[in-house]
Structure 1
Amino acid sequence: MIAEMTGPFAEFGRQMKAGIEAYQKQHGTTVDGQRIEVIYKDVGGPQPEVAKRLAQELIVQDKVDILAGFGFTPNALAVAPVATQAKVPMVVMNAASAKLTSRSPYMVRTSFGYDTMVPPIAQWALEQGQKKAYMIVADYAPGHDAEKAFRQAYEQGGGEIIGSVRVPLMTVDFAPYLQRVKDSKPDVLFAFVNAGNVAPALFKDFKTKGLADDGIKLIGTGDIVYESILDVIGDNGLGATTVYPYSMQHPSELNRTYVQQFQAALGAKERPTIMSVSAYDGMALIYGGLKKAGANAGGQALLEAFKGLAFESPRGPIAIDPETRDVVQNQYIRRLERVDGELMNVEFKTYEAGR
């Protein structure tokens, strides 16, 4: 596992580790007698050279059979040629850039890609009769992917993009951008910005500028209402409609069990995110691949076993596309509401995989 275990992105590693431990608590630490050991290496953040060095050390010194983790796309990209050369499968549990798995024939992804996640929110907005949209996205690769995906789906559905802006990754002053949005009078504002203190600032300025009072609806990806920042967003975010492949409110018995185990391990107030579920599913993929190919399988044989695997996740049914090696999953439209006094992203519409 190459993950962010310390520093400003330590929550990434914390969530992933909790997901892995929850899976092994449920399913044990062996597959057909073969012990599954997880070695954690701290990459600290988006540091491609560090990720590459750690991958090389894990392969050469620790003799690992699988590389996993990768909170950031640049880290996954840096490790891709290492995995290819060593013929070691790598399971991406968070990095979400479009077509990422094309960068190595040994890469498999259990998280998501913005190119497939975003179109349903564009479709949903059009179904509500919201024909004019403005876009605001963080100015880096995932933001560009989200922007492209929304524009394409929205315009193909008959909608009109009347404005767009890319904002600095860590900006917390959205007032000047939102004034432009207010003046443009769109039906909806599509937003993709990061969690931390960025998304709460967006909601605060959205309310202060009175965009909701003007009838402008705020929609976006689930990143803007990430579970770990909901208490910071507070009531400013009520009613925000987003698309994401997971909410801790997902109504299934497996998810209820997962949430209970997650909170038993980390605390009753803790909220699991898609990151923890992607790690949980990464372990399900590894276990399933070993059962299919044989507990001693590695390299190409294990990779082939991953292709086409399908199983139930806390987020719902998922599968690995045998051609792209990317995850195939439902996308859920959610609304931020208070449930028993707690802020929650409540799913109310499902766009099934492949439809």
Structure 2
Amino acid sequence: MLQKKFKLFLYTALVAPVAFCLALGTASKVEAQKEIRLGFLTPLTGGGAQLGRDSVNGLKMYLDEIGYDMAGLKVKIIVEDTELKPAVAVTKAEKLIRHDKVHMIVGGVMGSTGYALGALANREKKLYIASIPASDDLTQRKLSKWVLRTGWAGSQPGHPFGKWAYEQGYRKVVMIGADYAFGHENIAGFHRGFEDAGGKIIQKIWVPVMTTDFGPYLPLVKKEADAIYALMIAAMPGPFLKQFKASGLKMAILGGGVTADETVLPNMGDEALGVITPLQYSAALDTPKNKAFVKKFRKLHKKVPSYFTESNYTTAKWIHEALKRVKGDISDIHRFSQEFQKIEIDAVRGPVKMDKYLNPVHNIYIRKVERINGELWNTVVATYPNVSQFWTWDPKEFLKNPVYSRNFPPCNYCK
């Protein structure tokens, strides 16, 4: 009898606590599965702070609309400031992965940041959704199952824009832009599209990222050009356009979409009038969906939304739709990714789907800055529907070339 009591004591003392812990662990696992943790990277300080604010506000606007619930999962967003620096973005991403145990990384800004985060995603085997970084090769030669893009490839808008510019009568163009990955790729997209149409790029001028004094560069611009194509980012566009107007140069101003994006237009004056840029979004899009989007965002934030806003709003919606397809089961991230790739989004920007290289196919809008009722708007003057990152070229033939860079395509008409 004493021996039986001793065995019962041992079971109570040793086995029962273990069973309780196992049950607790199972309950904790179930609880964990009811939450999806998204690590969101964006600049919140420095010259890119407005880009970050618009990005966060776009993401949270969608999450507010759905009550932070995606397919039965409570959404937890952990936002980290990248300071617009690739190295900082990588450090913050490592913290999100190792400490916060996020299910995926979202966001980032700058092409160089995109490349750094893509490499990290491969190394850590963590899904990265690039909602803003337009690093071309993320969805071309460096294609990876760990990287999905919901934004755009940097050269993508420039291909049709080059064709459009030639059709408007421009024949000789000077290019000036930020000297880093995105600047190289964005400028190269227009370069190839324009010269394929019959135009000539006669000069390229590179300036350091975040330059605000263009005094040393503007006197170099060749005056025989019909137009100048400018690619400026973050805090660069305003100073560039003011100094260009003051320089006395009379040629038309074309540029990359972010040169006159809605993150910078509210702080500009007449120097921005007439600037023509291509992008997959404009706050002036004349559609019921966009009008409602702009109205709501303005009410919340006292400004019009930018492409940074729309892209992250759409990214949140895309994640939500994919989670619905897997019924909220995020345990198999590759199944989630496969469903993500099949989705066609009726986005604020227009219809969006993903090509087999994991980059969006969407409309490209040619936009001209005009003043309407006292405000500057990117009015849409032309639309190219369903533009892929490969434009009209065969993807396999396109990818035989080097990635776009400072030196490719070569500047055959530069002297």
Q: Do both proteins adopt the same fold according to a TM-score greater than 0.5, normalized to the shorter chain?
A: yes
Select which of 318, 337, 350 maps to 1:303: 337
Select which of 231, 248, 258 maps to 2:293: 258
Q: Distance in 2 between matches of 1:231 and 1:62?
A: 36
Counterpart of 1:158 in structure 2: which amino acid?
A: G
Instruction: Rate the CA distance shift 1:258–1:226 in 2: closer, same or farther, 3 A.
Output: same
Corresponding residue for residue 164 of structure 2? 124
- Give the drift of 1:189: 1.1
Question: Are 2:370 and 1:332 equivalent residues in the alignment?
Answer: no
Question: Are 2:200 and 1:165 equivalent residues in the alignment?
Answer: no
Instruction: Rate the CA distance shift 1:8–1:150 in 2: closer, same or farther, 3 A.
Output: closer
Is the contact made by 2:187 and 2:256 (CA closer than 8 Å) also made in structure 1? no
Instruction: Rate the CA distance shift 1:180–1:28 in 2: closer, same or farther, 3 A.
Output: same
Q: Distance in 1 between matches of 2:282 and 2:93?
A: 31
- Give the drift of 1:190: 1.1
Q: How does 1:272-287 map to 2 (within 5 A)?
A: 272-287=305-320
Question: Are 2:144 and 1:109 equivalent residues in the alignment?
Answer: no
Counterpart of 1:238 in structure 2: which amino acid?
A: L
What value does the CA root-mean-square deviation take over the aligned residues?
Answer: 2.0
- Give the drift of 1:175: 4.3
Corresponding residue for residue 347 of structure 2? 313
Q: Distance in 1 between matches of 2:99 and 2:207?
A: 42
Structure 1 range deviating more: 334-343 or 60-69: 60-69
Question: Are 2:11 and 1:11 equivalent residues in the alignment?
Answer: no
Counterpart of 2:160 in structure 1: which amino acid?
A: P
Corresponding residue for residue 44 of structure 1? 83
Instruction: Rate the CA distance shift 1:147–1:43 in 2: closer, same or farther, 3 A.
Output: closer
Is the contact made by 2:127 and 2:146 (CA closer than 8 Å) also made in structure 1? yes
Q: How does 1:1-355 map to 2 (within 5 A)?
A: 1-48=40-87, 50-101=88-139, 102=142, 104-183=144-223, 185-196=224-235, 198-212=236-250, 216-267=251-302, 270-297=303-330, 298-321=332-355, 323-354=356-387
Q: Distance in 1 between matches of 2:213 and 2:72?
A: 55
Q: Distance in 1 between matches of 2:257 and 2:271?
A: 16
Counterpart of 2:296 in structure 1: which amino acid?
A: Q
Counterpart of 1:129 in structure 2: which amino acid?
A: G
Is the contact made by 1:240 and 1:336 (CA closer than 8 Å) also made in structure 2? yes
Q: Whose Rg is larger?
A: 2
Instruction: Rate the CA distance shift 1:254–1:143 in 2: closer, same or farther, 3 A.
Output: same
**What whole-Å deviation, never above 9, does each CA across 1:67-113 have from its counterpart, x for those lacking one?**
11111333333333443344432111211121223353211111211
Q: Distance in 2 between matches of 1:152 and 1:346?
A: 25
**What whole-Å deviation, never above 9, does each CA across 1:227-246 have from its counterpart, x for those lacking one?**
23224431112111111111
Counterpart of 1:25 in structure 2: which amino acid?
A: D
Structure 1 range deviating more: 74-83 or 258-267: 74-83
Unpaired runs of at least 5, structure 2: 1-39, 393-415
Is the contact made by 1:338 and 1:344 (CA closer than 8 Å) also made in structure 2? yes
% identical equivalent positions = 31
User: Which TM-score applies when normalising by structure 1?
Assistant: 0.91
Corresponding residue for residue 20 of structure 2? none
**What whole-Å deviation, never above 9, does each CA across 1:20-71 have from its counterpart, x for those lacking one?**
12112223322332222212222322142x3333323323332221211111
Corresponding residue for residue 26 of structure 2? none
Corresponding residue for residue 395 of structure 2? none
Unpaired runs of at least 5, structure 1: none
Please state whether the residue corresponding to 1:124 is helix, strand or coil: helix
**What whole-Å deviation, never above 9, does each CA across 1:300-323 have from its counterpart, x for those lacking one?**
1111111131111111111122x2
Q: Distance in 2 between matches of 1:174 and 1:219?
A: 17
Aligned residues: 346
Please state whether the residue corresponding to 2:76 is helix, strand or coil: coil
Q: Distance in 2 between matches of 1:191 and 1:82?
A: 31
